[in-house]
């Protein structure tokens, strides 16, 4: 009988860990407000998760820039630009956000979310 030790082969490596819970982000199309470099402008949010978002900006930010973004359902949130591709950029929030509120039609006070 051959064993891994006697045949000189390494034992099979374990399968890589699989991510549970499905997608980490949700595809959306939302207009957001951004405060960057002392100027306020609009952005178009394409993807959002509890840890960040991907948006298109009027002017491309630089990697490492900090900005404040406001999207329907979330309070103004500070984040850091982690990547840039043209005018699209990925922003990592400084703290996880309750993004499920972005998808609610009504706020907790009963008013329609905008």
**Does pLDDT of 17 surpass 50?**
no
Model confidence at 2, pLDDT cuts 50, 70, 90, reads low
Cβ atoms < 10 Å from Cβ of 16: 6
Whether this model's pTM surpasses 0.85: no
What are residue 66's DSSP bridge partners?
Answer: 80
Nearest alpha carbon to residue 26 among 40, 43, 46, 10 = 46
Nearest alpha carbon to residue 27 among 103, 107, 104 = 103
Cα 60 to the center of its chain, rounded Å: 17
Express each pLDDT in 23-82 by its tens digit: 565 787 899 999 998 999 999 999 999 999 999 999 999 999 999 999 988 889 999 999
Cβ within 8 Å of residue 86, ≥6 positions away: 60
Q: At the top level of CATH, which class does the domain 26-103 belong to? A: mainly beta
- The pLDDT of residue 3: 52
Average of per-residue pLDDT across 75-101: 94
Cβ within 8 Å of residue 11, ≥6 positions away: 4
What is the residue whose two structure tokens read 């051959």?
Answer: 2
């Amino acid at each position: 009988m051959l064993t891994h030790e006697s045949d000189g082969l390494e034992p099979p490596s374990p399968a890589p860990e699989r991510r549970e819970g499905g997608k980490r982000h949700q595809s959306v199309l939302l207009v957001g407000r951004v405060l960057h470099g002392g100027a306020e402008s609009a952005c178009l949010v394409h993807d959002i998760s509890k840890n960040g978002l991907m948006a298109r900006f009027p002017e491309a930010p630089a990697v490492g820039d900090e900005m404040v973004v406001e999207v329907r359902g979330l309070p103004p949130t500070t984040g850091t630009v982690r990547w840039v591709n043209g005018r699209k950029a990925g922003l990592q929030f400084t703290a996880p956000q309750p993004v499920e509120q972005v998808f609610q039609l009504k706020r907790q006070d009963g008013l329609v979310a905008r």
